[in-house]
Structure 1
Amino acid sequence: MTETPVLTGDRLLDGLTASIVERGYRDTTVADIVRHARTSKRTFYEQFAGKEQCLIELLRRNNSDLIDGIRAAVVPDDDWHTQIRSAVDAYVAHIRARPAITLCWIREAPALGVVARPLNRQVMSDLTELLVTVTENPGFQRAGLTPVSPPIALILLGGLRELTAFFVEEGRDVAGITEPAVAAATALVAPPPD
Protein backbone atom coordinates (compact mmCIF):
# COMPACT_ATOMS: atom_id res chain seq x y z
CA MET A 1 0.00 0.00 0.00
CA THR A 2 1.44 3.37 -1.03
CA GLU A 3 1.05 6.37 1.28
CA THR A 4 -0.52 9.48 -0.12
CA PRO A 5 1.91 12.40 -0.53
CA VAL A 6 -0.08 14.55 1.93
CA LEU A 7 0.15 11.98 4.72
CA THR A 8 3.82 11.36 3.96
CA GLY A 9 4.50 15.11 3.94
CA ASP A 10 2.69 15.53 7.26
CA ARG A 11 4.71 12.71 8.81
CA LEU A 12 7.93 14.28 7.57
CA LEU A 13 6.95 17.65 9.02
CA ASP A 14 6.15 15.92 12.31
CA GLY A 15 9.55 14.23 12.08
CA LEU A 16 11.27 17.57 11.57
CA THR A 17 9.34 19.03 14.49
CA ALA A 18 10.40 16.17 16.76
CA SER A 19 14.02 16.55 15.72
CA ILE A 20 14.00 20.32 16.24
CA VAL A 21 12.65 19.81 19.76
CA GLU A 22 15.24 17.08 20.40
CA ARG A 23 18.37 18.54 18.74
CA GLY A 24 17.59 21.96 17.32
CA TYR A 25 17.28 22.76 13.64
CA ARG A 26 20.97 23.25 12.88
CA ASP A 27 21.93 19.84 14.26
CA THR A 28 19.01 18.09 12.59
CA THR A 29 19.80 15.93 9.60
CA VAL A 30 17.55 14.34 7.01
CA ALA A 31 18.35 11.02 8.73
CA ASP A 32 16.92 12.42 11.98
CA ILE A 33 13.77 13.60 10.21
CA VAL A 34 13.09 10.24 8.54
CA ARG A 35 13.90 8.36 11.76
CA HIS A 36 11.24 10.34 13.62
CA ALA A 37 8.84 10.05 10.67
CA ARG A 38 9.51 6.30 10.38
CA THR A 39 10.08 6.52 6.66
CA SER A 40 13.00 6.54 4.24
CA LYS A 41 15.34 9.15 2.82
CA ARG A 42 13.99 8.25 -0.60
CA THR A 43 10.49 9.18 0.59
CA PHE A 44 11.83 12.41 2.07
CA TYR A 45 13.46 13.45 -1.19
CA GLU A 46 10.28 12.64 -3.11
CA GLN A 47 8.59 15.37 -1.01
CA PHE A 48 11.35 17.92 -0.33
CA ALA A 49 14.57 19.02 -2.01
CA GLY A 50 16.29 19.24 1.37
CA LYS A 51 15.81 20.03 5.02
CA GLU A 52 15.57 23.77 4.27
CA GLN A 53 12.49 23.27 2.10
CA CYS A 54 11.03 20.98 4.75
CA LEU A 55 11.57 23.69 7.38
CA ILE A 56 10.01 26.34 5.15
CA GLU A 57 6.88 24.22 4.71
CA LEU A 58 6.74 23.50 8.46
CA LEU A 59 7.01 27.21 9.26
CA ARG A 60 4.47 28.14 6.59
CA ARG A 61 1.93 25.79 8.16
CA ASN A 62 2.85 26.83 11.70
CA ASN A 63 2.35 30.50 10.90
CA SER A 64 -0.91 29.76 9.11
CA ASP A 65 -2.07 27.98 12.29
CA LEU A 66 -0.97 30.98 14.36
CA ILE A 67 -2.99 33.39 12.22
CA ASP A 68 -6.03 31.10 12.20
CA GLY A 69 -5.83 30.79 16.00
CA ILE A 70 -5.69 34.54 16.51
CA ARG A 71 -8.51 35.12 14.04
CA ALA A 72 -10.68 32.52 15.81
CA ALA A 73 -9.97 34.00 19.25
CA VAL A 74 -10.95 37.57 18.41
CA VAL A 75 -14.67 38.39 18.56
CA PRO A 76 -15.19 41.46 16.32
CA ASP A 77 -18.03 42.90 18.40
CA ASP A 78 -16.11 42.69 21.70
CA ASP A 79 -14.70 45.83 23.30
CA TRP A 80 -11.39 46.73 21.65
CA HIS A 81 -9.43 46.08 24.86
CA THR A 82 -10.89 42.57 25.00
CA GLN A 83 -9.99 41.96 21.36
CA ILE A 84 -6.37 42.94 21.98
CA ARG A 85 -6.15 40.64 25.01
CA SER A 86 -7.79 37.79 23.08
CA ALA A 87 -5.32 38.19 20.21
CA VAL A 88 -2.32 38.27 22.55
CA ASP A 89 -3.61 35.30 24.55
CA ALA A 90 -4.02 33.28 21.34
CA TYR A 91 -0.49 34.26 20.24
CA VAL A 92 0.98 33.25 23.61
CA ALA A 93 -0.92 29.94 23.65
CA HIS A 94 0.42 29.12 20.18
CA ILE A 95 4.00 29.98 21.17
CA ARG A 96 3.74 28.09 24.45
CA ALA A 97 2.69 24.97 22.53
CA ARG A 98 5.55 25.27 20.00
CA PRO A 99 8.47 27.24 21.44
CA ALA A 100 11.18 25.46 19.45
CA ILE A 101 9.31 25.92 16.16
CA THR A 102 8.66 29.56 16.96
CA LEU A 103 12.36 30.12 17.63
CA CYS A 104 13.14 28.52 14.24
CA TRP A 105 10.76 30.98 12.59
CA ILE A 106 12.42 33.92 14.32
CA ARG A 107 16.07 32.90 14.19
CA GLU A 108 16.65 30.08 11.69
CA ALA A 109 14.39 31.06 8.79
CA PRO A 110 16.07 34.45 8.24
CA ALA A 111 19.45 32.70 8.36
CA LEU A 112 18.41 30.60 5.34
CA GLY A 113 18.73 33.74 3.23
CA VAL A 114 17.07 34.20 -0.11
CA VAL A 115 15.36 30.79 -0.10
CA ALA A 116 13.29 31.75 2.96
CA ARG A 117 12.72 35.39 2.07
CA PRO A 118 9.32 34.75 0.39
CA LEU A 119 8.13 32.89 3.51
CA ASN A 120 9.31 35.64 5.86
CA ARG A 121 7.73 38.38 3.78
CA GLN A 122 4.46 36.50 3.37
CA VAL A 123 4.15 35.73 7.06
CA MET A 124 4.83 39.30 8.12
CA SER A 125 2.44 40.55 5.43
CA ASP A 126 -0.28 38.15 6.62
CA LEU A 127 0.22 39.09 10.27
CA THR A 128 0.26 42.79 9.43
CA GLU A 129 -2.96 42.43 7.45
CA LEU A 130 -4.51 40.53 10.37
CA LEU A 131 -3.69 43.36 12.80
CA VAL A 132 -5.05 45.99 10.45
CA THR A 133 -8.23 43.94 9.94
CA VAL A 134 -8.73 43.38 13.67
CA THR A 135 -8.45 47.11 14.33
CA GLU A 136 -11.20 47.70 11.75
CA ASN A 137 -13.61 45.53 13.77
CA PRO A 138 -16.84 47.01 15.22
CA GLY A 139 -15.41 47.04 18.76
CA PHE A 140 -12.67 49.42 17.60
CA GLN A 141 -15.07 51.46 15.46
CA ARG A 142 -17.44 51.99 18.41
CA ALA A 143 -14.52 53.45 20.37
CA GLY A 144 -13.80 55.84 17.50
CA LEU A 145 -10.36 54.33 16.90
CA THR A 146 -8.55 54.58 13.59
CA PRO A 147 -7.28 51.23 12.28
CA VAL A 148 -3.53 50.82 12.62
CA SER A 149 -1.53 51.37 9.48
CA PRO A 150 0.55 48.52 8.06
CA PRO A 151 3.85 50.19 9.09
CA ILE A 152 2.66 50.57 12.70
CA ALA A 153 1.44 46.96 12.73
CA LEU A 154 4.82 45.84 11.41
CA ILE A 155 6.64 47.76 14.16
CA LEU A 156 4.46 46.06 16.78
CA LEU A 157 5.05 42.63 15.22
CA GLY A 158 8.80 43.12 14.99
CA GLY A 159 9.04 44.02 18.65
CA LEU A 160 6.78 41.13 19.62
CA ARG A 161 8.90 38.66 17.64
CA GLU A 162 12.08 39.82 19.36
CA LEU A 163 10.48 39.73 22.81
CA THR A 164 9.21 36.23 22.06
CA ALA A 165 12.68 35.07 20.98
CA PHE A 166 14.21 36.53 24.15
CA PHE A 167 11.77 34.63 26.38
CA VAL A 168 12.14 31.34 24.48
CA GLU A 169 15.96 31.55 24.32
CA GLU A 170 16.12 32.29 28.05
CA GLY A 171 13.79 29.38 28.82
CA ARG A 172 11.30 31.75 30.42
CA ASP A 173 7.56 31.21 30.51
CA VAL A 174 6.22 32.95 27.39
CA ALA A 175 3.17 34.03 29.37
CA GLY A 176 5.51 36.78 30.57
CA ILE A 177 5.15 38.54 27.23
CA THR A 178 1.38 38.92 27.65
CA GLU A 179 1.23 42.17 29.61
CA PRO A 180 3.97 43.98 27.66
CA ALA A 181 2.34 42.90 24.38
CA VAL A 182 -1.11 44.05 25.51
CA ALA A 183 0.33 47.36 26.72
CA ALA A 184 2.23 47.98 23.47
CA ALA A 185 -0.74 47.09 21.27
CA THR A 186 -3.05 49.25 23.37
CA ALA A 187 -0.67 52.20 23.19
CA LEU A 188 -0.40 51.91 19.42
CA VAL A 189 -4.15 51.95 18.80
CA ALA A 190 -5.39 54.14 21.65
CA PRO A 191 -6.36 57.68 20.81
CA PRO A 192 -3.71 60.24 21.64
CA PRO A 193 -4.28 62.08 24.93
CA ASP A 194 -5.99 65.46 24.65
Structure 2
Amino acid sequence: MTAVPADAAVTDRLLDGLAASVRERGYRDTTVADIVRHARTSKRTFYEQFDSKDRCLIELLRRNNDDLIAAILAAVDTQADWRIQIRQSVDAYVEHIGARPAITLSWIREAPALGAAAQPLHRQAMVKLTDMLVTLTANPGFRRAGISPVPASTALILLGGIRELTALLVEDGGDVHEIAGPAVAAATALLGPH
Protein backbone atom coordinates (compact mmCIF):
# COMPACT_ATOMS: atom_id res chain seq x y z
CA MET A 1 0.00 0.00 0.00
CA THR A 2 1.40 3.38 -1.04
CA ALA A 3 1.35 6.15 1.54
CA VAL A 4 -0.52 9.30 0.56
CA PRO A 5 1.71 12.39 0.74
CA ALA A 6 0.84 14.57 3.75
CA ASP A 7 -0.22 17.53 1.59
CA ALA A 8 -2.47 15.30 -0.52
CA ALA A 9 -4.12 13.87 2.58
CA VAL A 10 -4.68 17.38 3.97
CA THR A 11 -6.06 18.58 0.65
CA ASP A 12 -8.44 15.62 0.55
CA ARG A 13 -9.67 16.40 4.07
CA LEU A 14 -10.25 20.04 3.18
CA LEU A 15 -12.15 19.09 0.03
CA ASP A 16 -14.25 16.67 2.06
CA GLY A 17 -14.81 19.49 4.57
CA LEU A 18 -15.99 21.80 1.82
CA ALA A 19 -18.27 19.10 0.40
CA ALA A 20 -19.80 18.52 3.84
CA SER A 21 -20.41 22.23 4.34
CA VAL A 22 -21.91 22.66 0.86
CA ARG A 23 -24.34 19.81 1.63
CA GLU A 24 -25.16 21.41 4.98
CA ARG A 25 -25.25 25.14 4.17
CA GLY A 26 -24.77 25.63 0.43
CA TYR A 27 -21.66 27.14 -1.11
CA ARG A 28 -22.59 30.80 -0.66
CA ASP A 29 -23.14 30.42 3.07
CA THR A 30 -20.06 28.25 3.59
CA THR A 31 -17.09 29.94 5.23
CA VAL A 32 -13.49 28.83 5.56
CA ALA A 33 -14.28 28.30 9.26
CA ASP A 34 -16.99 25.80 8.23
CA ILE A 35 -14.58 23.97 5.94
CA VAL A 36 -11.86 23.62 8.56
CA ARG A 37 -14.39 22.60 11.21
CA HIS A 38 -15.56 19.73 9.01
CA ALA A 39 -11.97 18.90 8.05
CA ARG A 40 -10.83 19.07 11.70
CA THR A 41 -7.94 21.33 10.89
CA SER A 42 -7.01 25.02 11.08
CA LYS A 43 -7.45 28.06 8.90
CA ARG A 44 -3.66 28.23 8.66
CA THR A 45 -3.63 24.73 7.19
CA PHE A 46 -6.40 25.71 4.79
CA TYR A 47 -4.45 28.70 3.49
CA GLU A 48 -1.34 26.57 3.07
CA GLN A 49 -3.32 24.50 0.54
CA PHE A 50 -5.70 27.03 -1.04
CA ASP A 51 -5.56 30.78 -1.41
CA SER A 52 -9.36 31.11 -1.16
CA LYS A 53 -12.63 29.29 -0.66
CA ASP A 54 -13.26 29.68 -4.40
CA ARG A 55 -10.02 27.86 -5.30
CA CYS A 56 -11.02 25.06 -2.95
CA LEU A 57 -14.40 24.81 -4.70
CA ILE A 58 -12.78 24.75 -8.12
CA GLU A 59 -10.59 21.81 -7.08
CA LEU A 60 -13.55 19.98 -5.53
CA LEU A 61 -15.58 20.41 -8.72
CA ARG A 62 -12.67 19.39 -10.96
CA ARG A 63 -12.32 16.14 -9.04
CA ASN A 64 -16.08 15.61 -8.99
CA ASN A 65 -16.26 16.02 -12.77
CA ASP A 66 -13.40 13.56 -13.25
CA ASP A 67 -15.19 11.10 -10.97
CA LEU A 68 -18.40 11.54 -12.99
CA ILE A 69 -16.65 10.74 -16.25
CA ALA A 70 -14.90 7.72 -14.71
CA ALA A 71 -18.23 6.44 -13.35
CA ILE A 72 -19.94 6.73 -16.73
CA LEU A 73 -17.08 5.06 -18.59
CA ALA A 74 -16.99 2.23 -16.04
CA ALA A 75 -20.75 1.67 -16.36
CA VAL A 76 -20.89 1.38 -20.15
CA ASP A 77 -20.51 -1.98 -21.87
CA THR A 78 -19.08 -0.86 -25.22
CA GLN A 79 -20.09 -4.18 -26.80
CA ALA A 80 -23.77 -3.73 -25.88
CA ASP A 81 -26.47 -2.35 -28.15
CA TRP A 82 -26.17 1.42 -28.46
CA ARG A 83 -29.55 2.00 -26.77
CA ILE A 84 -28.42 -0.03 -23.76
CA GLN A 85 -25.23 2.02 -23.63
CA ILE A 86 -27.25 5.23 -23.53
CA ARG A 87 -29.29 3.87 -20.62
CA GLN A 88 -26.12 2.75 -18.81
CA SER A 89 -24.57 6.21 -19.28
CA VAL A 90 -27.65 8.04 -18.04
CA ASP A 91 -28.08 5.69 -15.08
CA ALA A 92 -24.43 6.27 -14.07
CA TYR A 93 -24.92 10.04 -14.40
CA VAL A 94 -28.09 9.98 -12.29
CA GLU A 95 -26.47 7.78 -9.64
CA HIS A 96 -23.47 10.14 -9.43
CA ILE A 97 -25.49 13.34 -9.11
CA GLY A 98 -28.02 11.69 -6.82
CA ALA A 99 -25.20 10.99 -4.37
CA ARG A 100 -24.05 14.62 -4.41
CA PRO A 101 -26.81 16.97 -5.59
CA ALA A 102 -25.45 20.00 -3.72
CA ILE A 103 -22.02 19.58 -5.30
CA THR A 104 -23.60 19.15 -8.73
CA LEU A 105 -25.65 22.30 -8.25
CA SER A 106 -22.52 24.18 -7.18
CA TRP A 107 -20.85 23.12 -10.43
CA ILE A 108 -23.78 24.26 -12.55
CA ARG A 109 -24.80 27.43 -10.71
CA GLU A 110 -22.06 28.60 -8.33
CA ALA A 111 -18.92 27.99 -10.39
CA PRO A 112 -19.95 30.31 -13.26
CA ALA A 113 -20.47 33.08 -10.69
CA LEU A 114 -16.76 32.84 -9.82
CA GLY A 115 -15.98 34.46 -13.16
CA ALA A 116 -12.62 34.10 -14.85
CA ALA A 117 -11.19 31.96 -12.04
CA ALA A 118 -13.64 29.15 -12.83
CA GLN A 119 -13.70 29.49 -16.61
CA PRO A 120 -10.91 26.92 -17.15
CA LEU A 121 -12.81 24.47 -14.92
CA HIS A 122 -15.99 24.84 -16.95
CA ARG A 123 -14.23 24.59 -20.29
CA GLN A 124 -12.14 21.61 -19.20
CA ALA A 125 -15.19 19.77 -17.87
CA MET A 126 -17.23 20.34 -21.01
CA VAL A 127 -14.32 19.32 -23.27
CA LYS A 128 -13.79 16.12 -21.28
CA LEU A 129 -17.51 15.30 -21.23
CA THR A 130 -17.83 16.04 -24.94
CA ASP A 131 -14.77 13.91 -25.73
CA MET A 132 -16.27 11.11 -23.64
CA LEU A 133 -19.49 11.17 -25.69
CA VAL A 134 -17.59 11.25 -28.98
CA THR A 135 -15.48 8.29 -27.83
CA LEU A 136 -18.46 6.32 -26.56
CA THR A 137 -20.36 6.78 -29.82
CA ALA A 138 -17.34 5.45 -31.74
CA ASN A 139 -17.41 2.09 -29.95
CA PRO A 140 -18.48 -1.30 -31.36
CA GLY A 141 -22.10 -1.12 -30.14
CA PHE A 142 -22.68 2.11 -32.05
CA ARG A 143 -20.65 1.02 -35.10
CA ARG A 144 -22.70 -2.20 -35.46
CA ALA A 145 -25.81 -0.03 -35.74
CA GLY A 146 -24.16 2.05 -38.47
CA ILE A 147 -23.98 5.10 -36.21
CA SER A 148 -21.11 7.53 -36.72
CA PRO A 149 -19.46 9.20 -33.74
CA VAL A 150 -21.47 12.19 -32.59
CA PRO A 151 -20.07 15.58 -33.64
CA ALA A 152 -18.63 17.47 -30.68
CA SER A 153 -21.10 20.34 -31.20
CA THR A 154 -24.07 17.97 -30.94
CA ALA A 155 -22.59 16.34 -27.85
CA LEU A 156 -22.23 19.78 -26.28
CA ILE A 157 -25.88 20.60 -26.99
CA LEU A 158 -26.97 17.33 -25.36
CA LEU A 159 -24.76 17.88 -22.32
CA GLY A 160 -25.94 21.47 -21.87
CA GLY A 161 -29.57 20.42 -21.88
CA ILE A 162 -29.00 17.62 -19.38
CA ARG A 163 -27.04 19.98 -17.10
CA GLU A 164 -29.84 22.55 -17.11
CA LEU A 165 -32.50 19.92 -16.43
CA THR A 166 -30.34 18.64 -13.58
CA ALA A 167 -30.04 22.12 -12.06
CA LEU A 168 -33.76 22.78 -12.27
CA LEU A 169 -34.66 19.48 -10.62
CA VAL A 170 -32.09 19.89 -7.83
CA GLU A 171 -33.09 23.53 -7.20
CA ASP A 172 -36.75 22.53 -6.96
CA GLY A 173 -35.96 19.62 -4.63
CA GLY A 174 -37.14 17.13 -7.25
CA ASP A 175 -36.13 13.52 -7.58
CA VAL A 176 -32.99 13.40 -9.75
CA HIS A 177 -34.22 10.08 -11.16
CA GLU A 178 -36.73 12.15 -13.15
CA ILE A 179 -33.80 13.14 -15.37
CA ALA A 180 -33.43 9.60 -16.72
CA GLY A 181 -36.42 9.46 -19.06
CA PRO A 182 -35.90 12.80 -20.80
CA ALA A 183 -32.11 12.31 -20.92
CA VAL A 184 -32.44 8.86 -22.52
CA ALA A 185 -34.99 10.20 -25.03
CA ALA A 186 -32.83 13.20 -25.96
CA ALA A 187 -29.66 11.10 -26.22
CA THR A 188 -31.43 8.48 -28.33
CA ALA A 189 -32.74 11.16 -30.69
CA LEU A 190 -29.40 12.98 -31.01
CA LEU A 191 -27.02 10.03 -30.97
CA GLY A 192 -29.05 7.42 -32.84
CA PRO A 193 -29.21 6.63 -36.56
CA HIS A 194 -30.19 9.46 -38.90
On whether the aligned pair clears a TM of 0.5, the verdict is yes
Measure how far apart 1:85 and its partner are: 0.3
Which residue of the partner structure matches residue 96 of structure 2?
Answer: 94
- 2:93 counterpart SS class: helix
Structure 2: distance between partners of 1:133 and 1:99: 26
TM-score normalised per structure 1: 0.97
Counterpart of 1:39 (choices 30, 38, 41) is: 41
Measure how far apart 1:110 and its partner are: 0.5
- 2:30 counterpart SS class: coil
Measure how far apart 1:111 and its partner are: 0.6
Q: Percent identity?
A: 69
Partner amino acid for 1:78? Answer: A
Which residue of the partner structure matches residue 21 of structure 2?
Answer: 19
Measure how far apart 1:55 and its partner are: 0.1
Superposed counterparts of 1:96-111, under 5 Å: 96-111=98-113
Q: Which runs of 5+ in 1 are unaligned?
A: none
Q: Deviations over 1:104-156 (max 9, x none)?
A: 00000011000000000000000000000000010000000111100000000
Structure 1: distance between partners of 2:171 and 2:139: 34
Which residue of the partner structure matches residue 130 of structure 1?
Answer: 132
Structure 2: distance between partners of 1:119 and 1:56: 7
Structure 1: distance between partners of 2:160 and 2:51: 30
**Structure 1 residue ranges, 4+ long, deviating more than 4 angstroms after superposition:** none
Measure how far apart 1:185 and its partner are: 0.3
Superposed counterparts of 1:154-193, under 5 Å: 154-192=156-194
Q: Deviations over 1:38-82 (max 9, x none)?
A: 000000000000100000000000000000000000111000000
Structure 2: distance between partners of 1:130 and 1:75: 14
Measure how far apart 1:187 and its partner are: 0.1
Structure 2: distance between partners of 1:190 and 1:58: 34
Structure 1: distance between partners of 2:192 and 2:95: 25
Structure 1: distance between partners of 2:191 and 2:89: 14
Contact 2:131 2:152 in 1 (8 A): yes
Aligned residues: 190
TM-score normalised per structure 2: 0.97
Which residue of the partner structure matches residue 7 of structure 1?
Answer: 9
Contact 2:145 2:193 in 1 (8 A): no
Structure 1: distance between partners of 2:118 and 2:191: 31
Structure 1: distance between partners of 2:19 and 2:137: 33
Measure how far apart 1:189 and its partner are: 1.6
